[in-house]
Copies of this chain bind each other. A is one copy, B any other.
Amino acid sequence: MQEGLSHPKSQFSSWFLEVVSRAGLADLRYGVKGFIVHLPPAVQAMKAMYRLYEQELERRGHKPYWFPAVIPESCFQLEKEHVEGFAPEVFWITQHGDQEELGEKLALRPTSETGIYRMFSLWIRSWKDLPLKLYQSCQVWRHETKATKPFIRGREFWWIEAHDAFATREEAEKQVLEDMEMTERVMHQEFGIPFIFFKRPEWDKFAGAVHTYAADSLMPDGRIIQQPSTHLLGQNFSKPFQILYTDEKGEKKHVWQTCYGPCIWRMLASVIAIHGDDKGLVFPFKIAPVQVVIIPVSQDTAVIKKCKEIYEKVRERFRAELDLTDRTPGWKFNEWELRGAAIRIEIGPKELQTKTLTLCRRDTGSRLCVQEYELLEEIEKLGEELTQNLIKRADEWFSSQVQDAKTLDEVRKKAGKGFLRVPWCSIDEKGRECAERLKEQFALHVRGVRVDKQEKPEGKCIICGKPAGCIVYIGRQY
């Protein structure tokens, strides 16, 4: 009998590492801290996730680019706050060949603003060149000092970065909203990851941004994981990088910019964590590495033949596997549940006789008998139902993870699980000290003010006791 996971999902940290390794998503033994080897199911899932995100970005007018992985030091240092924010994490290429020094050090990109915006200054001349909306799907590298965890925090990860330039601040602000819509459209409606978009406090902005908005999701242990953020960069980069356009009246003006960073790698972490169960991985249908697995429940020649026939049919439209190894059907059921195959087709003598097929859904384990001629449509339908069920389940759990806390005492009692909704003095600079005290005393972070609805402040700041200027959400973070 194939052994199940040794940790239930309620022991989240251990479960997560075990499922990543047992289901063959990643190998952590590469030998360089924070760098992992991505195994086929992880690559397949991420490729499907990239496709969905790229489609959405292109549908909204972004074009695909590939920029170099390196940024020259002089260029990297042009925006002061940005360089201060990222410099500590940069890997530097300084030599080539046999210890020969490079003319200029090259940063292995930790993010690409400084490399890309120098090109913006060459590309943008007139108002007719605007808006300029582009993205690249790529890896970035950051010398993280915190503990690294596969798909959650690493020194090398896979993401998308979208960089947009506009003639006016209004258009840039609209782009920030569009970025939030894309997050909802893809991360929530396709990947089933629930989130709340927050306007981040002044002291927690992206290095170089005017405002930062970030989608926070939760892990099953109640800790917060930051998913995509979108930043209103204003003219903070267009000034040092001299990105100017001539408007319709012939005046030269600096462009307004935004950037948006959906991290596919980290979204996979949320997919694993949110949808998985005690048996292993569960994926929304469209991004499942294996959408359909076909398992013969007898070694009968006619059964095997039918399995192969069905496999050939199914793989034309779906990512499919046919398991003809010499394990028992029970072993195979467990193994493919562990790996998160979305739909299992069982074929035995009974199925041959009745000319039907038995489909089993990974999320509910429920079985369905279908006629052969309707198989592909039924898979499609069942896949969609599975996805919708995962989204519903995730949403229900997520909304149960928000609690009110009006005083420090209540915070103390409820801290650690999900979000606490608390009255707060301010998310401007003047609230920073309260945030630092909250962090020191409770290891809790201020995530910011909700973007999707205005919440009326009531009561007093839980730290300084001044009248609340806003409602913020706090929690433990990854």
Contacts and interface: CB of A to CB of B under 8 A. Distances in A.
Given A27-B119, A96-B143, A106 B37 contact: no
A69 B141 contact: yes
Nearest to A29: B122
Contacts of A67: 30, 37-38
Interface stretch (A85-93, A347-355, A368-376, A381-389): A85-93
B64 A44 contact: yes
A39 interface: yes
A108 interface: yes
A71 to B, nearest CB: 8
Q: Which of A42, A122, A141: most chain B CB closer than 10 A?
A: A141
Contacts of A156: 68-70
Interface in A24-75: 27, 29-32, 35-40, 42-44, 47, 63-70, 72, 75
A95 interface: yes
B119 A37 contact: yes
A93 B90 contact: no
Nearest to A103: B33
A319 B123 CA distance: 24
Contacts of A401: none
A317 to B, nearest CB: 14
Nearest to A128: B325
Contacts of A10: none
B68 A36 contact: yes
Nearest to A31: B72
A78 to B, nearest CB: 12
A112 to B, nearest CB: 11
B31 A118 contact: yes
Contacts of A298: none
Interface in A145-177: 156, 158
20 contacts: A29-B119, A30-B118, A31-B118, A37-B66, A37-B67, A37-B119, A39-B65, A40-B64, A44-B64, A68-B156, A69-B69, A70-B156, A87-B97, A87-B98, A91-B106, A92-B93, A92-B94, A92-B99, A94-B94, A95-B105
Given A27-B122, A32-B70, 4 more contacts: A69-B141, A89-B97, A91-B93, A92-B99
Interface of A: 27, 29-32, 35-40, 42-44, 47, 63-70, 72, 75, 87-99, 102, 105-106, 108, 115, 118-119, 122-123, 134, 139, 141, 143, 156, 158
